[in-house]
């Protein structure tokens, strides 16, 4: 086993602090990655605080990982030392079920292995659960490693591995294209990427928000217009006109006003709120044969397609860089919605 530096928490009430963890020794199909950057996702906070009731301690968060390959196993064919690579939200799956066979490892019928806080299928490390990217290195089997385009800002790529694929996947699945009218609800880490992707796909793109002060930011990100969801006249103006709505709001809220914006046979996809919502009025979907759906990240193949798309279109996240020892303050700022739009940790600061 390999001892490495990491940042993690011993329980839900503890701050994250420096610790030593043990990674497995290299297997023939493994890639060892020196971590250069790691994004900070709101899921990291939920997991650390055990908000979902499944936290395993000690916990080392981080599933938006960018790094350089420093060692490859004897059977590795896709990567060489020095390659710029990424690791997203999963590091393993059964690779045998129907979902895995369709490149939908995120929906693995036997449970995908999360990059952190997941049940370790492979073994060989001290812990029976996985540790994430708030660390100096990570060892991952090559099938769950991603190639990173080198023509775009490397540090701003990190959140693409969660916020990026979470918003790209539903837009891609519902075949958003030029001529479609797309609404993105909520302007945060997910919402700002939803706007960028929808616009890059050629859609007429609208930010739907409760905050008038977010209008300029939304247009700078690529939105064609802004709809204030508390203004009934604005909602009525766009009633029944949207082909697709991407809802990124991360907390319980009322989705009924947004359903009224959809065309007949159109879809609203939920990617933010993993919790109960306000009651939905059945008439809002029955009258128009509308759909409310959900989406969870993307498989490895689709995530690579998303990264390649970002390389072609020069799309990255808007980020604020922090040192590793600033993570506890960053967690609080995320909870206070005080970041535009994602924190990324310079992992060299953990070595110093």
Predicted local confidence at residue 352, as pLDDT = 72
Residues 168 and 52 in one domain: no
Note whether 62 and 132 are within 8 A (CB).
yes
Domain assignment present for residue 311? The answer is no
pLDDT digit string (tens) for 30-57?
999 999 999 999 999 999 999 999 999 9
Statement to judge: residues 21 and 121 lie in one domain:
yes
Q: Supply the pTM of this predicted model.
A: 0.96
What is the pLDDT, as a whole number, of residue 126? 86
Residue 308 belongs to a domain: no
Q: Is residue 85 part of a domain?
A: yes
Q: Which ranges of the chain have pLDDT less than 70?
A: none
Tens of pLDDT, residues 232-247: 999 999 999 999 999 9
Q: How far apart are CA 310 and CA 308, in angstroms?
A: 5
Q: Tell me whether residue 301 is in a domain.
A: no
Specify the CATH number for the domain of residue 228. 3.40.50.720
* Pair 72, 148 in one domain: yes
Q: What is the CA radius of gyration of the chain?
A: 20
Q: Kindly provide the b/e burial profile for residues 58-83, where b requires at least 16 CB atoms within 10 angstroms of the residue's own CB.
A: bbbbbbbbbbbbeebbeebeebeeeb
pLDDT at residue 174 in the model: 98
Q: Is residue 210 located within the same domain as residue 280?
A: yes
Same domain, 106 and 254: no
Whether 85 and 126 map to the same domain: the answer is yes
130 & 33 share domain: yes
Give the residue from 119, 118, 257, 262 showing the smallest Cα distance to 182.
262
Is 110 inside any structural domain? yes
| Residue 202 counted as domain residue | yes
Residue 206 within any structural domain of the chain? yes
**Distances from the Cα of 80 to the Cα of 68, 88, 141, angstroms:** 10, 19, 13
Q: Is residue 307 part of a domain?
A: no
195 and 205 inside one domain:
yes
CATH number of the domain that 53 lies in?
Answer: 3.90.180.10
161, 84 Cβ separation under 8 angstroms: no
Its domain, for residue 184, covers 163-294
Total domains present in the chain: 2
Residues 172 and 157 in one domain: no
b/e sequence 239-261, b meaning 16+ C-beta within 10 Å? eeebbbbbbbbbeebebebbbbb
Letter string b/e over residues 290-321, b meaning 16 or more CB atoms within 10 A of that residue's CB: bebeebebbbbebbbbbbebbbeeebbbbbee
Does residue 60 share a domain with residue 22? yes
């Amino acid at each position: 086993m390999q001892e490495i530096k990491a940042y993690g928490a011993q329980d839900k009430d503890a701050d994250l602090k420096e610790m030593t963890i043990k990674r497995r020794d290299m297997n023939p199909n493994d890639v060892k990655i020196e971590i250069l950057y790691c994004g900070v996702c709101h899921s990291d906070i939920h997991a650390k605080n055990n908000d979902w009731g499944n936290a395993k301690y000690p916990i080392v968060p981080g599933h938006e990982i960018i790094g350089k390959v420093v060692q490859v196993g004897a059977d590795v064919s896709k990567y060489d030392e020095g390659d710029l690579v990424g690791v997203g939200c999963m590091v393993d799956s059964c690779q045998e079920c129907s979902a895995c066979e369709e490149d939908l490892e995120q929906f693995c019928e036997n449970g995908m292995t999360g990059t952190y806080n997941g049940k370790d299928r492979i073994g060989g490390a001290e812990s029976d659960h996985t540790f994430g990217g708030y660390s100096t290195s990570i060892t991952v089997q090559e099938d769950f490693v991603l190639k990173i385009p080198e023509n775009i800002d490397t540090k701003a790529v990190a959140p693409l591995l969660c916020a990026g694929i979470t918003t790209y996947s539903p837009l891609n699945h519902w075949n958003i294209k030029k001529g479609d009218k797309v609404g993105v609800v909520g302007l945060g880490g997910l919402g700002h990427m939803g706007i960028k992707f929808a616009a890059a796909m050629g859609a007429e793109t609208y930010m739907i928000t409760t905050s008038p002060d977010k209008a300029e930011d939304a247009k700078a990100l690529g939105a064609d217009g802004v709809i204030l969801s508390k203004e009934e006249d604005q909602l009525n103006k766009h009633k029944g006109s949207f082909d697709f709505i991407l809802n990124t709001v991360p907390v319980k809220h009322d989705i009924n006003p947004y359903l009224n914006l959809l065309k007949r046979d159109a879809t609203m996809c939920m990617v933010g709120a993993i919790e109960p919502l306000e009651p939905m009025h059945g008439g809002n979907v029955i009258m128009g044969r509308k759909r409310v759906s959900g989406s969870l990240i993307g498989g490895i193949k689709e995530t690579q397609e998303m990264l390649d798309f970002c390389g072609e279109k020069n799309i990255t996240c808007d980020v604020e860089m922090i040192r590793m020892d600033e993570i506890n303050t960053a967690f609080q700022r995320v909870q206070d919605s005080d970041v535009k739009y994602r924190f990324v940790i310079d992992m060299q600061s953990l070595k110093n």
